[in-house]
Structure 1
Amino acid sequence: MRLGAHLSIAKGLPRTAAMATSIGANTFQYFMRNPRGGAARQIPGKEIQAWREARRRADLYPIAGHLPYTVNLGAAAERQQEFTRMVLHDDTLRVAAIDGEYLISHPGHYEGERQAGLDRIIQLIEEAYLSITPPGPMLLLETMAGQGKEVGTIDDLCYILEGLGWPDRVGVCLDSAHLFAAGWDLRTPAGCQQLVQELAAKIGLDRVKAMHLNDSAAPLGSHRDRHAGIGKGELGREGIAAVVNDPFLGELPLFLETPVANYEEYGEEIALIQKLKSV
């Protein structure tokens, strides 16, 4: 099982590799820049060389960068569009520089008509991401809870992918808490299979590459994005066990984004998930 957590790279990627190993993780996700702003830490070549060796020793795979929350692929205002183009383009290159496999992004929010927002997302991805050659990390669009004018239902992602022409370089990252809040009851094996069948029919399972494994502090179908610790939310241990034992969902790379006081607490959750895997 490829299981890890969202970790900081503020003290350097080799340090992050050590953090991952210390909590029993064999993969991780990270922010390349301030999640609430635009500042990005420049990673020197020597650090990248040391990272590659540390990664090899620790068998860390795959590695996913996450775009900051300030990015809105569906923005209507030109200034915000320019910022989003810059971040998507530059962070693609930053993830490529450290040999990362994935770049994950919230699809964004729309203003005015929903379809117009979806069309802006398609155009921006074409301009800022698909235009980059040679190709770098695969861009994964995340499933969302559906708060307000948030984009990110399975139908939304299907529309975007179809509008892009189903490129090999764009895929999907699931989020268990978001899906639950959006109305997918993942607390039973049958509920998980219903989701997998929907993904197979509309997206294609080969395009679904990763999952954020989070419990939900918000009720089923509430359309509220509220993460909870593993086994401490509405999904509970039974729901987390259903997800990680699903023949498809449980084989995806799993990244924890649960609320913790420090990264060491992820180690406790990883140990719990490993126990639940065989339940």
Structure 2
Amino acid sequence: MGRILEWFSRQWTGFRRFVRFLGGIYALIVYSIKNYFGEKKGRDQVNAIIVMQMYFTGVMAVKIISFVALALGAITILQGFTQLSRVGALDFVGRLLNIVIVRELGPVLTAFIVLSRSGTAIAAEIGTMMVNDEVNALEIQGIDTLKFIVFPRITGMVLSLVLLNIYFSTLALVGGFVVANIVGGVSYELFFEYVFNSITLLDILASFLKCVLFGIFIATVSVFHGFQAFVSTQIPQVTTAAVMSSISVLFVLDAILTVIFYI
């Protein structure tokens, strides 16, 4: 009986933590947006922080994004072209690239790269600010931390992720074309005819929406966990928690959106 009660106690504690997590995420998103648009004062400073966040999240990730995108496009075509050419179904090359890159791996891999760089950095940065009482100092000075800390990181993350995904998908298609041209002698016109005939507006919309939601939740989850640090030894813990929570959220969101758009 004691073990049963202990099990229920653990489950109840886990459920309360989950509800607290969801409530915190909701509050950070809603009130940071509300505070930004509710008062014009300080918007120029917030916009400057957004630009800095976009530079760190977007521009500084271009190298690794370029490498992964080219490799993914090349490998996808190398594997798919070999199999499809055997059955005379080269027209499915475009559909394969669309499913692998535009619909799924483009947004997901871009989000994972951004999470590994910027998500961890945000959690560690906010955690350090909490430990050093910088957040409390800002609030004492009358500075809206939701507006100046949370909103710029969410907005910068979303804008960067959308732009990086466009860049990723484009470069992956280029990498696929290079391999298709070298291996199978597929011309530029024929390759991109295959690709553009398979990509629909729904695919573009789904990819865009995934990036927007991925960006919102990566930034918000990272900030939320960063706010949970109160001593320096907790900073690595909240950073790890931010990564694990973000990965879970990304897969759940990806599955939900895939079902909504394609099933």
TM-score over 0.5 (shorter chain):
no
TM-score, normalising length from structure 2? 0.24
Structure with greater proportional strand content: 1
TM-score, normalising length from structure 1? 0.23
> Which of structures 1 and 2 has the bigger CA Rg?
2
Higher relative contact order (CA 8 A, sep 6+): 2
